[in-house]
């Protein structure tokens, strides 16, 4: 009964959210889009709370910035913005795109997810995009907690070469990231890499480019959530045989 009610509310909210907010070409449509931005994307909460932090020299993370904050970023010397949410054509994207154009900020997109495993080509695109971003730049998702945290870990571990244990600090409660919820999928992907690397050393970028499978990530994460042995679903290389004397 509770699930049916919850599903009904979720479906109704999604339908309403997609019914407007995809046009800012007239004053009236712009007013509607601002309501959409604040009501459905919770932009009003991100005025006092930015989740802003430094990832590396000239690289920062935050939640989704509104036009006023983008102006502050410009004044700080930020040159580019990396959107991890995607260009879906609704109010968050429309206002960001408009503000970046007006301010001369370069806006790039590398879409990943907070509650499901990104596909291999999406993570590879993220790595390549981060490596090519003009600096200084800010990367952001919606809340700046999960996708921004995952991207920050990859930036520090792959591009900066920081030990993974140190890089993983960007997925933490202080950013309002909770690994025991469905957003723990991003932590789980890193756990998968650590397990694979322990079996036979492989650098993280090579693993993502050649072995990572989002279907295995999803299946093993569901097993973990159910309290099952998720490691059993991982195809790990056989341990190297010790050398023998001739």
What is this structure's pTM? 0.91
Domain that holds residue 208: 48-232
Instruction: Give domain status of residue 27, yes or no.
Output: no
- Average pLDDT value for residue range 76-86: 98
Of the candidates 40, 37, 38, the residue with the CA atom closest to the CA atom of residue 17: 40
| Residue 153 CB-half CA count within 13 A | 23
Of the candidates 75, 84, 85, 235, the residue with the CA atom closest to the CA atom of residue 155: 84
Instruction: Give domain status of residue 88, yes or no.
Output: yes
Rounded CA gap, 172 and 177, in Å?
5
Instruction: Give domain status of residue 222, yes or no.
Output: yes
Instruction: Give domain status of residue 96, yes or no.
Output: yes
Instruction: Give domain status of residue 97, yes or no.
Output: yes
Digit-coded pLDDT (tens) for 184-218: 999 999 999 999 999 999 999 999 999 999 999 99
Instruction: Give domain status of residue 243, yes or no.
Output: no
Instruction: Give domain status of residue 199, yes or no.
Output: yes
For the chain, the domain total comes to 1
Digit-coded pLDDT (tens) for 130-170: 999 999 999 999 999 999 999 999 999 999 999 999 999 99
Q: Are the beta carbons of 193 and 207 closer than 8 angstroms?
A: yes
Phi-psi region of 201 (alpha: psi -120 to 50; beta: other; left: phi over 0): beta
- What is the pLDDT confidence band of residue 19, given thresholds at 50, 70 and 90? confident
What element of type H or E holds 140?
strand 137-140
Instruction: Give domain status of residue 3, yes or no.
Output: no
> The CATH number of the domain where 217 resides is what?
3.90.190.10
């Amino acid at each position: 009964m509770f699930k049916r009610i919850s599903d009904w509310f979720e479906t109704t909210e999604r339908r309403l959210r997609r019914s407007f907010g995809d046009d800012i070409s007239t004053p009236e449509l712009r007013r509607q889009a601002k309501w959409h931005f604040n009501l459905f994307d919770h932009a009003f909460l991100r005025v006092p709370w930015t989740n802003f932090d430094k990832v590396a020299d000239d690289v920062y993370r935050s939640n989704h910035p509104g036009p006023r904050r983008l102006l502050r970023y410009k004044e700080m010397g930020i040159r580019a913005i990396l959107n991890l949410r995607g260009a879906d054509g609704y109010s968050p994207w429309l206002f960001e795109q408009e503000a970046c154009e007006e301010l001369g900020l370069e806006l790039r997109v590398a879409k990943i997810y907070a509650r499901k495993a990104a596909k291999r080509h999406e993570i590879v695109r993220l790595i390549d995009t981060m490596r090519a971003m003009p600096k200084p730049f800010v990367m952001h998702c919606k809340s700046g907690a999960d996708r921004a945290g995952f991207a920050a870990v990859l930036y520090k571990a792959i591009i900066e070469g920081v030990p993974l244990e140190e890089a993983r600090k960007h997925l933490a409660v202080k950013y309002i990231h909770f690994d025991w919820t469905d957003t723990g999928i991003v932590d789980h992907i890193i756990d998968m890499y650590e397990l694979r690397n322990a079996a036979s050393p492989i650098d993280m970028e090579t693993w993502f480019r050649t072995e990572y499978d989002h279907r295995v990530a999803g299946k093993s994460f569901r097993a973990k959530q159910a309290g099952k042995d998720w490691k059993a679903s991982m195809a790990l290389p056989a341990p190297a045989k010790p050398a023998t004397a001739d």
